[in-house]
Amino acid sequence: MKLEDEIKQSKFNSLHQKVLVNIIFTANWVNAKLSDIIKSHNITLQQYNVLRILRGKYPKSANPGEIKAVMLDKNPDLTRLCDRMCTQGLISRNIDEVNRRKMNICITDKGLKVLEQIDPEIQKIENSMVHLQDSESGQLSDLLDKMRG
Q: Which fold has domain 43-122?
A: Arc Repressor Mutant, subunit A (1.10.10)
Distance of CA 117 to the CA centre of its chain: 16
Domain ranges of the chain: 1-40, 43-122
Q: What is the predicted pLDDT for the residue at 75?
A: 72
Which class for 58: exposed (0-12), middle (13-18), buried (19 or more C-beta within 10 A)? middle
Q: Spell out the per-residue pLDDT of the chain, length 149, in tens.
A: 788 888 889 899 999 999 999 999 999 999 999 999 999 999 999 999 999 999 999 999 999 999 999 998 877 789 899 999 999 999 999 987 888 888 899 999 999 999 999 999 999 888 888 888 889 999 999 999 999 89
Q: Which helix (H) or strand (E) holds 15?
A: helix 15-39
pTM summary value: 0.85
From CA 32, how far away is CA 29, in angstroms rounded?
A: 5
Kindly give, in sequence order, each residue whose CB lies less than 8 Å from that of residue 51, ignoring residues fewer than 6 positions away. 43, 85, 90, 91, 107, 111, 114, 115
